[in-house]
Amino acid sequence: MNKPVLDYLFGLSGQVAIVTGSTKGIGLAAARALARAGARVVISSRSQADCDRVADELAADGFEAIGSECDVSDSDALAGLVARTEQQWGRIDILVCNAAVSLHRGPNLDIDDASFDATMTANVRSIMWLCKQAMPIMARQGGAVVLMSSIAGLRGNTMLGTYGVSKAAEMALARNLALEWGPSGIRVNAIAPGLIKTDFAKALWQDPENERAKAAVNPLRRLGRVEDVAGVVVMLASAAGAYINGQVIVVDGGTMIAGPH
């Protein structure tokens, strides 16, 4: 019997997904969307209590989820996250590297060494550590890796320059990993969101006047919602994205193509 087209293209039944930074914001929306598509989801953040809360909420809605505390800046913690996932469900099909930090606002050359190193560790090196642990397991049956980048990695920014540098590195990493692991059946892509209404970006939109000004220069005349990004995560993780590999998909309502105002 043929499956309905949505199940065929976007269904993730039986698959296992790890989502870092998934107790709030884009990560939480991605985890919920993956669960609704049928995946068993590992919720991860620095707080076990928050992980358990989100996992319990998903379970109450009839989805399979577990919570696993993990600081992505700790390579041993990442190894433990992968080990727990494999122990629980015996496989990993989807890896969403969403956790990130932004520790400096201002010119690139004003950042201190410790903040620069911490930013690059959390936003770039952690992905390499996690992929090194998870991708050999994923290669048993193939899968999809989604790196959460940003349009800050595609253009200059006088306030978030170092964050942008780390996000540009993620894009390059997606391309390189896609080349290296494509023969093993693993696709690797990056998403570059624009301004999304999350706590992480609250300083950019919490003032109503500032929000109106930023929405006014967006072709859709609004800021992004977490669900706008979560849908692309599901697409890249599912059969709908089966021939998309090594790409950066911009999700910004058209900000990058809008002319000067």
- Which active-site residues does the annotation give? 163
Q: What is the rounded distance in angstroms from the CA atom of residue 25 to the CA atom of residue 31?
A: 10
- The phi and psi torsions of 94 (rounded to 5 degrees) equal -135, 135
Q: What is the rounded distance in angstroms from the CA atom of residue 224 to the CA atom of residue 253?
A: 7
Q: What is the rounded distance in angstroms from the CA atom of residue 195 to the CA atom of residue 220?
A: 12
CA distances from 146 to 4, 150, 208 (A): 25, 12, 32
- The phi and psi torsions of 201 (rounded to 5 degrees) equal -105, 15
3-state secondary structure 115-173: HHHHHHHHHHHHHHHHHHHHHHHHCCCCEEEEEECCHHHCCCCCCEHHHHHHHHHHHHH
Q: Are 20 and 101 in contact (CB under 8 A)?
A: no
**Would you give the DSSP letter of residue 256?**
G
Q: Are 43 and 68 in contact (CB under 8 A)?
A: yes
